[in-house]
Amino acid sequence: MNRTVKVTALLLAAGLGGVAAAQTSTYKGPKVTLTYLHGFTGADRPVMERLIAQFNAANPNIEVKAQAQPWGTTWQQLPSLVASGRAPDVVVINEDQITNFVARGAVSPLTNAELQAAGINKSRFYGPLFKTADYEGKSYGVPISSVAYVMFYNKDLMKKSGVSKVPTNRTELLAAARACTTDRNGRKPGQSGFDPKALNTWGISLYNNWVGSRLAYAAILQNGGSLVDKNLNASFNSPQAVEGVQFLVDLVQKHNVARPNSTEEAELAAFSQGKVCFFPSGQWYLDRFEQQKMNFGVAFVPRIGTKQDAAWGGSSHMTLPKQRAGYDANKRRAALAFVNWMTSPTQNLAWTEAGSLPVMPAVANNKKFENRPIAGVFSKLGNIYATSGFPWGGQVLGPFDNAWANAYSGKQSVKAALDAGVSEANKQIQQARKTFQ
Amino acid sequence: MSLSVPGEAARPREARRRRGGREGSALTPYLYLLPFLALFLVFVVYPVGYGLFVSMHRWDLLAETRPFVGLEYYRNLFDPETPQSQFFWNSMKNTGFFTLVSVPLLIGTSLGLALLLHRPIFGRAFFRSVFFLPGILTVSVMGILWRWMFDNQIGLVNAVRTDLLGMQPLPFLSTEGLAWVPIIVGTVWWTIGFNMTLYLAGLGNISQSYYEAAEIDGATPWAKFRFITWPLLAPVTLFVFVTTVLASFQLFGQTLVITAGGPNRSTQSTIQYITEEAFSNNQFSSASAMAFLFGLVMLIFTYLQFRIMARDARGEN
């Protein structure tokens, strides 16, 4: 056990305590300067800058020079920076881009020996989260930040509707959603004269954009399906996928416990106004609901499928771009030491101030979160899956989101919408493959 | 086209004298042009040439080989089996539809407003400013505003329909066809002020004496518009027409923010699809081929418009 691991273990034993203990770097070489490119340009920027300043102060032989710029700019610049041999030493890449950059050779693999030498222990992270940056059996990045799809619930409306338990599976969700639904005349679904077009309150928010489609993604994963098959061709029309998505569409079209043809803004407004019991969306709305002083809770997405718990998550990973021949090996070792420091429990705990979820159980167990509403999802953070692992993200997710919109709006049957989406995606993948040969 | 200007005959002699006097070299004008030529070569000729190269190779900056594929990506656009062909021509159809509907609206409404605000009415300056102001907003602000207005559930338009008129709400944002309403209405609201200002300037240049003469002849207001205002505004209308058509062809931000190109790509503009192919699908060669084809179509339109303009100028002379 090297020193960093020992220090980490000690910190864990102490429950982190919120104290930034000094951490010994694994890099002992001559002084190097590292360039670090990241897209944390919002409210998270000061937190990142503070962490970098702490690192520089604690590591006199490594100077990290950071540059924050919009993510989109980095995606456009990275290929030319790598191709011209001027790549930064460390770049943060998001889950929806990473496999593409890996497959195009913009990022270098991190060997087990290298990770070990730098003190980076894969097992300290949530498994699916770490694997987001894996491709063809190799690791290419270390998770630094994470967001997830969760289910917000309105406690007041639930109480008023007689729902005492937050639903955790399909049956409970349907029963609770039915209880929450009333039309303008106070009638319930199933009662004679019930008007599904004029809902006063309703069970669950479904909506037509990409965020709305991430619930369909969860349903597919929970049923044991996936977006792509083992050959990385689109496969979101499998029987498991159709079954899971059909349940969601039935919530609108058959059970009338969700509004048809709704938008994210409309559902967000309705949830804030206490008109809908369950609002599945990104955990990034947490601050907003807290500031509104709503009486709400946060739960993991209920198990709609039959196989496993699952929810969509987005993530950011620290990667080492491919460098020109003759690149200073000391820089690579120093970069890995920096990655290790930044993704260590103490720093990750500090980073959660920026709105991220913990990327490792050791941080999720910290007492700091005990009374936060978001703590309700922490026991299942290991069941969060990114839409990653295939280099043709746009070609798969675009048609998938469109298929969801068509199925949800009733424009096509679930099977027809998913079949059409897969057919389109596979045609595009077939052409994209030529670029990666 | 040649415009006859008094004293034109004297000019060549004057020019000869100047050339012979100070500069002394036929190369001088070209030296003055040199910096612009350099900029033109670096920022226009080279990117266009490189784009053409990209469109004919299977190109990726990071790829080790970039094989020549000739016209493969252009051929894809004419092969109905490829998604590129399907979506590119769908986006062309959408852009064409938008141009066809929005251009007459943008010209008609701005001309109407200009005619109203050209009169000496109370609060004229205020109204001119009010109609011009939306134009200073960025496309994202304008887009969000109109998306909210037409939201299926919380939009003002649907609130009026349901609460005041007792009608069913219309799902504007998620119904093919209806989704164009917020985009077109929003665009008219957003850009009307600029065209209106051009028309106001044009109206200001028409001599009042024409109208006075027409009044003596007993002309009706319509006759005055038909035979004086409209023909004398022809150059302004042509300018407004050309710039509005070009701007409409470049439709991008409005559809991106209001509908994200949906539902079902029914409002996806050509530039939006080219951007998706390049930066979301990482198919740069395919996107370049589309851009060149789109550029060619724009070029043909511009050529036709210039023909019309030239004919009009000849007619006036």
Domain ranges, ordered by start, for chain B? 82-314
Interior/surface letters A95-112, b for 16+ CB within 10 angstroms, e for the rest: bbbbbbbbbbbbbbbbee
Tell me the per-residue pLDDT of B254-274, one tens digit each, with 9 for 90 and over: 999 999 998 989 999 999 999
* Residue-averaged pLDDT of chain B: 87
**Measured distance CA(B189)–CA(A79) in Å, rounded:** 40
Burial of residue B100, with CB atoms counted within 10 A of its CB: 0-12 exposed, 13-18 middle, 19 or more buried: exposed
* Interface residues of chain A, partner chain B, Cβ below 8 Å: 72, 75-76, 79-80, 82-83, 100, 104-106, 197, 208-209, 259-263, 265-267, 269-270, 392-395, 398, 402, 405-406, 409, 411, 424, 427-428, 431-432, 434-435
Q: Do B174 and A261 touch (CB under 8 A)?
A: yes
**Measured distance CA(B82)–CA(B75) in Å, rounded:** 10
Q: Which residue of A has its CA nearest to B280?
A: A394
Domain covering A10-147+314-374 in this structure, CATH number: 3.40.190.10
pLDDT for the residue numbered B311? 72
Q: Phi and psi dihedrals of A101, rounded to 5?
A: -65, -35
Nearest to A356 by CA among A17, A23, A20, A48: A48
Binned at pLDDT 50, 70 and 90, residue B27 comes out as confident
Residues in chain A with CB shorter than 8 Å from the CB of B81 are: 427
Nearest to A106 among B62, B147, B171 (CB): B62
Residues in chain A with CB shorter than 8 Å from the CB of B265 are: 402
Which amino acid type is present at position A100?
N
Q: Are B191 and B247 in contact (CB under 8 A)?
A: yes
pLDDT for the residue numbered B166? 85
Nearest to A434 among B58, B262, B265 (CB): B58
Q: What is the DSSP letter of A313?
A: E
Q: Do A262 and B147 touch (CB under 8 A)?
A: no
Q: Do A261 and B63 touch (CB under 8 A)?
A: no
Q: Do B262 and A402 touch (CB under 8 A)?
A: yes
Q: Phi and psi dihedrals of B49, rounded to 5?
A: -60, -45
Burial of residue A205, with CB atoms counted within 10 A of its CB: 0-12 exposed, 13-18 middle, 19 or more buried: buried
Helix or strand or coil: residue A345? Answer: helix
Binned at pLDDT 50, 70 and 90, residue B113 comes out as very high
pLDDT for the residue numbered A10? 44
pLDDT for the residue numbered A13? 44
Beta strands in A114-154 (DSSP E): 134-135, 138-139, 141-154
**Measured distance CA(B305)–CA(B286) in Å, rounded:** 29
Q: Are A193 and A187 in contact (CB under 8 A)?
A: yes
Q: CA triplet A111, A117, A123: central angle to 5 degrees?
A: 70
Q: Do B82 and A409 touch (CB under 8 A)?
A: no
- Residue of A409, A423, A426, A433 to mutate, interface with B, max B Cβ within 10 Å: A409
**Measured distance CA(B144)–CA(A237) in Å, rounded:** 34
Residues in chain B with CB shorter than 8 Å from the CB of A260 are: 171
Cβ neighbors of B182 (< 8 A, separation 6 or more) are: B146, B147, B149, B150, B172, B173, B258, B259
Q: Are A300 and B183 in contact (CB under 8 A)?
A: no
Tell me the per-residue pLDDT of B62-111, one tens digit each, with 9 for 90 and over: 888 888 999 999 999 999 989 999 999 999 999 999 999 999 999 999 99
Q: Identify the CATH assignment for B82-314 out of 2.40.50.140, 3.30.572.10, 3.40.50.920, 1.10.3720.10.
A: 1.10.3720.10
Q: Do A263 and B151 touch (CB under 8 A)?
A: yes
User: CB distance from B165 to chain A under 8 Å?
Assistant: no
Nearest to A52 by CA among A360, A425, A347, A401: A347
Nearest to A82 among B62, B84, B171 (CB): B62
Cβ neighbors of B127 (< 8 A, separation 6 or more) are: B117, B121
Domain ranges, ordered by start, for chain A? 10-147+314-374, 149-312+387-434
Beta strand pairing call for A90-94 and A62-68: unpaired
Q: Interhelix angle for A414-436 vs A239-253, to 10°?
A: 130
pTM of the predicted model, to two decimals?
0.87
Q: Phi and psi dihedrals of B268, rounded to 5?
A: -75, 125
Nearest to A155 by CA among A346, A296, A256, A58: A296
Q: DSSP of A1-36, one letter per residue?
A: --HHHHHHHHHHHTT-TT-------S--SS-EEEEE
The helix or strand, by DSSP H or E, that contains position A346, with its residue range, turns out to be helix A345-351
User: CB distance from B62 to chain A under 8 Å?
Assistant: yes
Burial of residue B120, with CB atoms counted within 10 A of its CB: 0-12 exposed, 13-18 middle, 19 or more buried: exposed
Nearest to A435 among B58, B76, B154 (CB): B58
pLDDT for the residue numbered A6? 47
Cβ contacts from A onto B, under 8 A: 96
Q: CA triplet B47, B51, B52: central angle to 5 degrees?
A: 120
Residues in chain A with CB shorter than 8 Å from the CB of B148 are: 265
Q: What is the DSSP letter of A103?
A: H
Q: Which residue of A has its CA nearest to B86?
A: A424
Beta strands in A289-374 (DSSP E): 296-299, 311-319
pLDDT for the residue numbered B9? 46
Q: How many CA atoms lie within 13 A of A83 on its CB side?
A: 14
* Alpha carbon distances (Å) from B101 to B43, B131, B185, B188, B245: 34, 21, 11, 11, 11
Q: Phi and psi dihedrals of A107, rounded to 5?
A: -125, 145
* Architecture in CATH of A149-312+387-434: 3-Layer(aba) Sandwich (3.40)
Tell me the per-residue pLDDT of B193-239, one tens digit each, with 9 for 90 and over: 999 999 999 999 999 999 999 989 888 989 999 999 999 998 898 88
Cβ neighbors of B214 (< 8 A, separation 6 or more) are: B223, B224, B227, B228
Q: Tell me the two tokens of residue A37.
A: 């490119």
Q: Tell me the two tokens of residue A257.
A: 């416990």
Nearest to B154 among A260, A265, A393 (CB): A265
Query: pLDDT tens string for chain A (437 positions)?
Result: 444 444 444 444 444 443 344 456 788 889 999 999 999 998 899 999 999 999 999 999 999 999 999 999 999 899 999 999 999 999 999 999 999 999 999 999 999 999 999 999 999 999 999 999 999 999 999 999 999 999 999 999 999 999 999 999 999 999 999 999 999 999 999 899 999 888 999 999 999 999 999 999 999 999 999 999 999 999 999 999 999 999 999 999 999 999 998 999 999 999 999 999 999 999 999 989 999 999 999 999 999 999 999 999 999 999 999 999 999 999 999 999 999 999 999 999 999 998 899 999 999 999 999 888 899 899 999 999 999 999 999 999 999 999 999 999 999 999 999 999 999 999 999 988 988 76
Burial of residue A170, with CB atoms counted within 10 A of its CB: 0-12 exposed, 13-18 middle, 19 or more buried: middle
Q: Do A406 and B263 touch (CB under 8 A)?
A: yes
Beta strand pairing call for A199-204 and A296-299: unpaired
Binned at pLDDT 50, 70 and 90, residue B23 comes out as low
